[in-house]
Amino acid sequence: MKRIISLLVLLVLVWGPVEKIPVVRAAGNITIQTIYASGFSNPVQLTHAGDGTGRMFVVEKVGRIRIIQNDGVLSTPFLNISTLVRSSCGECGLLGVAFHPDFEINGYFYINYNDYSSPMNTVIARYTVSAGNANLADPASRKVILTIAQPYENHNGGQLFFGPDGYLYIGMGDGGSGGDPQNNAQNVESLLGKMLRLDVNTGDPYGIPADNPLVGKPGRDEIWAIGLRNPWRFSFDRLNGDLYMGDVGQNLWEEISFQAAGTANGKNFGWRCMEGSHLYNSSPPCNNPAFLSTLTLPIAEYSHNEGVSVTGGFVYRGSIFPDLYGKYYYADFGRGRIWSLTKVQDSPPAFSAPVLELDNTGINIGAFGEDEFGELYVLDFYGGKIRKLESTAGPAGDLLDSSMTPSTRSADPDETVTFHIFARNNGGVALTAGVVNPIPSGVSYQLGSVTASSGSATFNSGAGQIEWNGSVPANASVTIS
């Protein structure tokens, strides 16, 4: 006889104790209480190599890149160029790293740092991983790609990132001082105050993408966008390629700027005409309404009553916390606040009102980080700690692929049929779970026959059902027969 079987899976989520920090809850649903790693010196970036190893690389401002592997910090730095890096000034140092999309094959990675020249330079250099040790870079492999003179010590930008198009994007501040006295951000002959875009796979030391906006026109071919003051951390949404930038303000306003994937190149984000969405400088062409109408204004801003220096972040695309999915997280360095906003419409792009997720965290948030799986982290600049960004609802498992399979689809009277229940957890965390399987009408249970690969399985004669309780590891399964 043929039977139709039903499977009911009941989940109970658990997690262990975490270290606490002073937090004033706001309207959001996140926590950064879990300390994932510590012992860093002024961390300014956390990223991954995209090579399937799960390693995370932490950039220290003093001139080191260190590795977190298997939940531990390796004692030997991946790269140590502290003798080359000028890190004594507040906004200078080793500020960024980006791994080539083909890093697993060519071993290339690119760094952004300030040197000891006078005047100081921003240096973009390529290094290669050591041939004999994947956790060590070859210090002799340095190849300088680009050098940009800095007239002042501040506003150095520092982020570099390979976009979904395979090109290297470099965020440059306006050269520093205050108010952009040299008007670099609006000057297309200067690389300062810009988003640059290079093809590091052609030319020597690099090529220019054919669709960069100033190719064949007056201005520097390396420029992708203009009008930035100090883009402190930008990122691409790994799902759709949208570009988000935290651009540090002058006296009154901090902003998040945005460029949707696939939209026209040559954006002008407004500085020094605009600070956020507010007029800052009225000298020409900033006094021309027609010119002002061409500027790309921020998607979010906050005043210096709420913070003092924005830190751009990432859109959460991980799997552990589904309730965070699709939210862009950013912070204020000085006040330790974290906000989120969500893109609610693609064309034209529209966003939710920002949500203050955490207030007065008690730390200076120097950067957010994203691992190979899309999970997010918060970097405590002065405390030297890496904290996980998590949902207060706790982690989510995924037992949707759980199934039950009989040894045969039909059976004669008095024939024995064995049922195998596969509790499959596709989530990123282990789950404490329970499985309840009622015995169908017309089928009798053979006493003592239930087994499980782990956990405890019994037959509840009163309820007429198989019951199992135990833990299902992340990305693993338990078999109940």
Q: Determine the pLDDT at residue 12.
A: 28
pLDDT in tens, the chain (481 residues): 233 333 333 322 222 222 323 333 456 799 999 999 999 999 999 999 999 999 999 999 999 999 999 999 999 999 999 999 999 999 999 999 999 999 999 999 999 999 999 999 999 999 999 999 999 999 999 999 999 999 999 999 999 999 999 999 999 999 999 999 999 999 999 999 999 999 999 999 999 999 999 999 999 999 999 999 999 999 999 999 999 999 999 999 999 999 999 998 999 999 999 999 999 999 999 999 999 999 999 999 999 999 999 999 999 999 999 999 999 999 999 999 999 999 999 999 999 999 999 998 999 999 999 999 999 999 999 999 999 999 998 887 666 667 778 887 777 787 787 878 877 786 656 777 788 888 777 778 787 778 999 888 888 887 888 888 888 887 788 888 8
Give the predicted TM-score (pTM) of the model: 0.81
Looking at residue 99, its pLDDT comes to 98
pLDDT of residue 401: 67
Give the 3-state secondary structure of the chain. Answer: CCCCCCCEEEEECCCCCCCCCCCEECCCCEECCCEEECCCCCEEEEECCCCCCCCEEEEECCCEEEEEECCEECCCCCEECCCCCCCCCCCCCEEEEEECCCHHHHCEEEEEEECCCCCCEEEEEEEEECCCCCCCEEEEEEEEEEEEECCCCCCCCCCEEECCCCCEEEECCCCCCCCCCCCHHHCCCCCCCEEEEEECCCCCCCECCCCCCCCCCCCCCCEEEECCCCEEEEEECCCCCCEEEEECCCCCEEEEEEECCCCCCCCECCCCCEECCEECCCCCCCCCHHHHCCCCCCCEEEECCCCCCEEEEEECCCCCCHHHCCEEEEEECCCCCEEEEEEEECCCCEECCCEEEEECCCCCEEEEEECCCCCEEEEECCCCEEEECEECCCCCCCCCCCEEEECCCCCCCCCCCCEEEEEEECCCCCEEEEEEEECCCCCCCCCCCCCECCCEEEEECCCCEEEEEEEECCCEEEEEC
Predicted local confidence at residue 425, as pLDDT = 80
